[in-house]
Chains A and B, each alone.
Chain A
Amino acid sequence: MRRMIASLTAAALLAAPMGVAAQELPSTPPPIPAPKPFKVPASETYVLENGMKVTLIPYGVVPKAVVSLQTYTGSINEGPDTWLAGLTLDMMREGAAGMTAAQIAQKAAEMGGGLAVNAGTTTSAVSINVLSDRTTDAIGLVADVAQRPGFPESELARVKANWNRRLAIALTQPGTLANAAVTRAYYGTDHPYGRVLPTPAQFGAYDAGKLKAWHAANFGAKRSHLYIAGRFDAATVKAAVEKAFGGWAAGPERALIPVNPKSGPQVLLLDRPGAPQSTINLVFPAPEAGSAGDIPTRVMNALLGGSFSSRITRNIRENKGYTYSPGSSVALLPTNAVWTFNADVTTAATGPSLTEVFKEIRELQATPPGDEEAAGMRQYMAGLFVIQNSTAGALVNTLATRDSLGLPRDWLENYVPATLAVTNAQISEAAKRLPLDKMTLVVVGDLKVITPQLQALPELKGVEFKTVTVP
């Protein structure tokens, strides 16, 4: 094929002449040269006198800014009062600093945002994403809601009814059932992580006094870190932060509870008669964030099940068509990490799907991946990091995750080189931390059809099948 290559330096005109005389696509793919380096956006962190940390991340050109207050509390500090943190955070939007819920919502909307509250396991957030010229107002609103919630009794019954309705719906979703069962089995019911659902009587008894007391005991400057990312004037923002948060009481230090996961093997079954699919959750302990095994485990995960070109996905989706939605992931919490595989597979293919999953795990344990596949996965993880950290909101999440997990300040800068440095052997070593004889497995499905399939699996021989119910 003879082609005229258009000059690459020609000024681009809107109607450039065709520089092509080919009749078909060149069959040889063009090369992929080395990627450009990725520079982690700069950020500045400082501490207020009361111990609250502040991180500013100037980023981008769109006139918007994210203001996110992350407080190190959540279900971890609930004791036996499951869902108390979630209900408390939700109620904080219902009135604060003398404002009604309607006034709060209207103020937020006038800034171009909506107030988002979220109670996690160890971190809870009050966040808003606004137009740049309203950044200082947004800081004030977040401060009011975080520091001075009113917990109006008049709204409580309604908000609790919403939670109950959400719970009822969640309990009809197989994914929710699987997650609740696996969490309970793995962490045990004596740890907040394992107590995923309250009883109706227990939840019904939470009153405004209880919410107020929990907020007072768990919210404060020392446990909090404010992140502001986007376009804003740093000097104006710093003054607004001091004014809004400088007077906040220091409050308690962060309190974590060590976990003591139950070692497998455990096999738990939930019956869903007539279900067209089985929902599978497979869990193993993983190396903690920042430990030597952390980054190799992430690369291993991408290769095994965590990416679209992973071995498990290519096998049970792209080759066999058993499932649409296979996936695996590493979840990192302070003091704890787990690797999870999940999939919704056609009922008749439940046993065969697990056979393939176990086979892929064993193969990776036995033999390090070849250079091409391993290099591809290292590059995938490095590239994904660049893609995921190119928005203000994502940068807030990444930095907040780094800080919450106690990772060093230069963790972002070191992530790409560390990922590219993982060896093929380390990938295989990481897979060895998924010992099949220690698995925790949950399957939600039509038990009369799938139990015989599971009994036929050699990996499950001799393991007691426990049929459980959720709640």
Chain B
Amino acid sequence: MAMKQWVTALALAGAAVPLGLVASPAAAQSAPAKLKVEMQYFTLPNGLRVVLAKDTLSPTVTVGVYYGIGFRIEPRERTGFAHLFEHLLFQGSKNAPKGVHISTISNAGGVLNGSTRYDFTNYFEVVPSNALERMLWLEADRMSAPVINDEVLKNQQGVVGNEVKVNVLNQPYSTWPWIDLPMLANTNWYNSHNFYGELKEIEAATVEDAKQFFDSFYKPSNAVLVVAGDIDYAATKAMVEKYYGWMPKAPPVKLPDISEPRQTAEKYRARTDKLAPKPGWAAGYHVPARGTPEWYAMGLIDQMLVKGQDSRLYRKLVAETGIAGEVGGGINFPLGNMFNYQGPMLWSFNFTHDANRSRDEIKAAVDAVIEDLRTRKVTPEELARARTKMRSSLYSTIDGTGRIGLIDLLAVYALFDNDPNKVNTLEDGFAKVTPELIQKTAQEYLRPTNRSIYVIDPGAAQPAAPAAQQGGK
């Protein structure tokens, strides 16, 4: 969310690249290799958690700093503040005035970005490995002494305002379903507010708010530093100690209760989108707690229901009935994946359709797919296919331009589990899932009473149904 992605997206989704990985030699047609990310993990006395992962693929390093503060947790009269603050951290620090951080990385031949998500805010750069020490110094300066004043705040309020305009206010469907659905499904304010922010609240933020936010959440004990790529472990560790070890240990962060009660009745909302030409249909279900056996099962259910053209919802809604042209969905969709969050989360899917398909017909088609999974055991073949897709997708997450997927996985397992080595056990977690566990998980979590449906009425084409509530704006 900090800036446009300067690294060109690949036309081929997730090409396979070995990033910090050692796989047993996978000669063609041999038994499937298991993934093992080589790493070192340690914690400084001030609480900063550090993950180092060495590889020899290209003479570059990826540095990521993940702070344990996401957009769920922001001040109540300041929606969008976590994201606005992320922007402010690109505006200069004590020893690197505005522009220096960005031009240093660019002039060294690197790229940078940052993003704000449910439970973390991250800042990362990919640079030629000769620039590693400078990057560690820059990130330390930003962690300890960002410069936030009226001038940069006003500038970034303008930039973020434009970000909201380009992604929400001037776009058909705007906040649907990625903001609308969690706002409907969740009851706790932390999970159910507009985290992109209301323009007037973004514009009302003050320097004092920023200082307070920084003091509350931006400290070594609430952060993870990941360095991956062309590194020497001992030398990198020494640099980390030199540039971060001096920072004092701050009192621990106090996070509010973000839990959600078990949902017991289906929720439904419709709103008219004045720019949208076609109706939209989205549903979200609360998922099992991250890391539990049921959560692993839910990951495979996601593969079976909505991932790829062989998935059940695709077959039903696209291929068989022609209701939709594509169905997008997932856990923590579209802002993340099933690994990089910590707290209540939805599995959701959505699609647009023509106005001549009734909502009753759509719901019946969806229910036919969901209820079949709840009442009939999946075949071992289908489960195996889901696991294959999951493995392949995991490799693609870890892999990818600039090791960004790799550092994300390592960082979130350090941040939320204090154990980045868990990345190497994910495949085992999926391997343990049985058809019985799939059914048990579907029974509880794919209940209609655990579901929230959010539909869009096209503003240009037809008026909203009289019963429709206006939400989300």
Contact = CB atoms under 8 A, between A and B. Distances in A.
Interface of A: 3, 5-12, 14-16, 18-20, 22-27, 29-38, 59-66, 68, 93, 101-102, 104-106, 108-116, 118, 125, 127, 129-133, 135-136, 155, 157-158, 161-163, 165-166, 168-169, 171-174, 229-233, 236-237, 272, 275-277, 279, 307-309, 314, 317-325, 327, 344-346, 372, 375-377, 379-384, 386-397
Given A131-B388, A344-B162, A173 B172 contact: yes
Given A63-B26, A66-B12, A387-B7, A36 B111 contact: no
Which 3 pairs across A and B sit closest by C-beta, in order of nearness?
A383-B109, A393-B15, A321-B158
Contact of B16 (A64, A325, A384): A64
Contact of A314 (B58, B99, B104, B108): B99
Interface stretch (B72-80, B176-184, B289-297, B398-406): B398-406
A93 to B, nearest CB: 7
A311 to B, nearest CB: 11
A382 B59 CA distance: 12
Contact of A25 (B17, B103, B243, B278): B243
A29 B137 contact: yes
B275 A32 contact: no
A25 B385 contact: no
**Which of B33, B144, B230 has most A Cβ within 10 Å?**
B33
Contacts of A231: 16, 18, 26
B287 to A, nearest CB: 22
Contact of A375 (B102, B107, B137, B318): B107
Given A129-B396, A308-B102, A60 B12 contact: no
A26 B8 CA distance: 35
Given A165-B278, A383-B127, A393-B10, A112 B26 contact: no
Contact of B309 (A19, A25, A105, A323): A105
Nearest to A231: B26
B224 interface: no
B159 A324 contact: yes
Interface stretch (B39-47, B211-219, B430-438, B439-447): B39-47
A165 B325 contact: yes
Contacts of B237: 6, 12, 16
Contacts of A323: 159, 162
Contacts of A20: 241-242, 245-246
Given A133-B30, A325-B162, A383-B109, A62 B395 contact: yes
Given A64-B392, A131-B388, A391 B170 contact: no
Interface in B1-39: 3-4, 6-8, 10-19, 21-23, 26-33, 35
Contacts of B26: 63, 132-133, 231
Contact of B392 (A112, A307, A314, A396): A112
Contact of A397 (B3, B10, B172, B242): B10
A175 B229 CA distance: 37
Nearest to B29: A133
A376 B314 CA distance: 48
A388 B5 CA distance: 13
A8 B170 contact: no
Contacts of A114: 13, 308-309
Contacts of B44: 18
B95 interface: yes
B169 interface: yes
B394 to A, nearest CB: 10
Interface stretch (B149-157, B340-348, B408-416): B149-157
Given A25-B137, A60-B57, A388-B7, 8 more contacts: A36-B129, A62-B16, A105-B310, A109-B310, A114-B309, A129-B13, A309-B99, A372-B107
Contacts of B3: 308, 324
A109 B388 contact: yes
Nearest to A10: B234
A230 B28 contact: no
A390 B401 contact: yes
21 contacts: A6-B234, A18-B45, A25-B140, A31-B133, A61-B22, A61-B23, A65-B16, A108-B309, A109-B309, A127-B12, A158-B319, A162-B326, A309-B99, A309-B103, A309-B107, A318-B155, A325-B162, A377-B106, A380-B110, A384-B7, A390-B17
Contacts of A174: 170
B10 to A, nearest CB: 5
Nearest to B100: A29
B177 to A, nearest CB: 14
Contacts of A6: 234, 237-238, 241-242
B86 interface: no
Contacts of B21: 61-62
B111 A384 contact: yes
B131 interface: yes
A24 B246 contact: yes
Interface string B194-238: 000000000000000000000000000000000000101111011
Contacts, number: 391
B385 A110 contact: yes
A161 B325 contact: yes
Nearest to A110: B385
A101 B309 CA distance: 9
B41 to A, nearest CB: 7
B20 to A, nearest CB: 10
A172 B277 contact: yes
B322 interface: yes
Contacts of A136: 28-29
A372 B107 CA distance: 9
B422 interface: no
Nearest to B6: A308
Contact of B15 (A12, A110, A229): A229
B391 A129 contact: no
Contacts of B235: 8
B112 interface: yes
Nearest to B27: A233
Contact of A383 (B15, B42, B108): B108
A127 B156 CA distance: 41
Contacts of A26: 137, 243
Contact of A35 (B109, B309, B325, B460): B109
Contacts of A396: 12, 15
B103 A376 contact: yes
B234 A8 contact: yes
A308 B159 contact: no
Contacts of A237: 28
Nearest to A329: B8
Nearest to B321: A158
B133 A30 contact: yes
B138 interface: yes
B352 interface: yes
Contacts of B12: 66, 68, 116, 127, 129, 393, 396-397
B366 to A, nearest CB: 18
A82 to B, nearest CB: 19
